[in-house]
Amino acid sequence: MNKKAIFAVVTLGLSLISGQALNEIIFEDKDFSKDGWSDFRDISNGAGWDVRSREMGGLVQGVVQEVTIEGAGGVYLSTGGGNHASVFRLDGTIRAIRVRDGQRTVIGEAEVSGKAEVRIGFDGAFFIYEYRSGDKWTRLGKSDIIGLVSYRGGISTNNRASDMSNYRVVKLDSLLGVRFGYTDTPKIPGTPWVVHDPFRPQPRQINPGTISPVNNPGTPPSDAIVLFDGTNLDAWEDGKGNAPKWKMGDGFFECQKKSGTIRTKQKFGSVQLHIEWAAPSEVKGSSQGRGNSGVFLAGLYEVQVQDNYDNLTYPDGQAGSLYGFRPPRVNATRPPGEWQAYDIIFEMPEFKDGKVVKKARITVLHNGVVVQHGVDIPGMLGHKRTRPYREHGPGHIQLQDHGNPVRYRNIWVRELKPTQ
């Protein structure tokens, strides 16, 4: 994309501190006697922790879980498979914990005695963890979400909830200002959605496996035009035809701050393109500000490059999307720092008398997984806009500078000539 989405920064506790009304109490159980719990079980033969849970559905912006604690216990969100986020008290310490793929991370902690309240919620980009002892909510921290999937939530305690009360699921006004999309943009042709619509369904996140190379790049076909083999940038130039300012590394090249978008010296029409990329291993930012770049075919049609591993953004702007038009079928993104691969089959549009008679068509595999299949591109779409076709011929393959240090390696292309 060409511009970053702008986010409003809000505090989870703002609604209660400022006296604003709550949007809605979705579920409430003061003493855990109501129906609405899908599970209540005793762990470790009566000596361990008990759990009550309920389906929370997909991530709902502005929704928090709250509970009052006098002894031990807390609230959690779980995706299953051992992945969960929680805020709880044990032995006088309130902790915010995130567990993903068995790796446990302490988000924050505080020593708190007596009665306290804890809560965990979602602000449109992050999990938020807070506690209150007295009148003021205190932020323990925030963390990335865990996958773009449905969640179960609830309480866990080591004493059958006797030390806990006043559980509720609440939608807070104060969390509804964080946006990861736009609603004032043009409608995308042939769809009910506007460009960068935040309410468009999110592609589910999957593990792409290891169909495509991860640690070592593969080798190109014998008839491929090699655009980067790890040794030099001779096939590339900046937008003015000068040598590119991107930094060479050990078998890769990397976008530098204000280094500018680069393009191939040669122009291409219909092609099969293979390109491997890696977002920064150090996670910074969220949504469009995280590991952002893009691959442009014929200089006009963008396949988005983006770190969308546990990172929400508008669906038509995430990794593998046809930017500003069509989300990927699934989110096949690998973790930050790991090498990823795009295999793209792009067919040029055809024109007659200045009018399009055949639209551009594209197929994209992300890490070996089909995320776009034979999609007709309706026009020239971009950031917050949609434009009709204009007649054009072959163009440069471009790699976008969006201010993030994204790396590329093993780039080759095969020109697709008409068959006889």
> Do 161 and 273 lie in a common domain?
no
CB-CB contact of 69 with 118 (8 Å)? yes
Beta bridge partners of 70: none
> Do 386 and 262 lie in a common domain?
yes
CB-CB contact of 366 with 305 (8 Å)? no
Q: Choose the most confident range, by mean pLDDT, from 64-73, 99-108, 165-174, 404-413.
A: 404-413
182 occurs within a structural domain = no
> Do 249 and 153 lie in a common domain?
no
> Do 277 and 164 lie in a common domain?
no
192 occurs within a structural domain = no
Q: Which of 175, 210, 243 is the last residue of a domain?
A: 175
> Do 139 and 47 lie in a common domain?
yes
Using CB atoms within 10 A of its CB, is residue 303 exposed (0-12), middle (13-18) or buried (19+)? Answer: buried
Position 116 scores a pLDDT of 94
204 occurs within a structural domain = no
> Do 378 and 229 lie in a common domain?
yes
What six digits make up the tokens of 266? 């040669």
> Do 149 and 52 lie in a common domain?
yes
Beta bridge partners of 414: 272
pLDDT tens digits for range 309-327: 988 888 999 999 999 999 9
> Do 131 and 246 lie in a common domain?
no
305 occurs within a structural domain = yes
Instruction: Tally the domains of the chain.
Output: 2
* Mean predicted confidence (pLDDT) in 52-71: 86
146 compared with 343, residue with greater pLDDT: 343
164 occurs within a structural domain = yes
* Mean predicted confidence (pLDDT) in 388-416: 95
| Stretch among 11-15, 300-304, 408-412 having the lowest mean pLDDT | 11-15
> Do 164 and 231 lie in a common domain?
no
pLDDT tens digits for range 119-175: 999 887 789 999 999 888 999 998 888 877 788 888 887 765 668 899 999 988 877
**CA atoms within 13 Å, Cβ hemisphere of 294:** 29
Using CB atoms within 10 A of its CB, is residue 11 exposed (0-12), middle (13-18) or buried (19+)? Answer: middle
5 occurs within a structural domain = no
Beta bridge partners of 387: 380
Using CB atoms within 10 A of its CB, is residue 188 exposed (0-12), middle (13-18) or buried (19+)? Answer: buried
Contacts of 303 (CB under 8 A, 6+ apart): 294, 295, 296, 297, 320, 321, 322, 323, 342, 344, 362, 364, 372
Using CB atoms within 10 A of its CB, is residue 356 exposed (0-12), middle (13-18) or buried (19+)? Answer: middle
195 occurs within a structural domain = no
Query: What CATH number is given to the structural domain containing 390?
Result: 2.60.120.560
What six digits make up the tokens of 270? 């219909």
- Checking if the pLDDT of 17 tops 70, the result is no
> Do 389 and 249 lie in a common domain?
yes
User: Residue 71 belongs to what domain range?
Assistant: 14-175
Query: What CATH number is given to the structural domain containing 93?
Result: 2.60.120.200
What 8-state DSSP symbol labels residue 230?
Answer: S
256 occurs within a structural domain = yes
> Do 295 and 403 lie in a common domain?
yes
Q: For a pLDDT cut of 70, what percent of the chain falls above it?
A: 89
> Do 145 and 232 lie in a common domain?
no
CB-CB contact of 385 with 378 (8 Å)? no
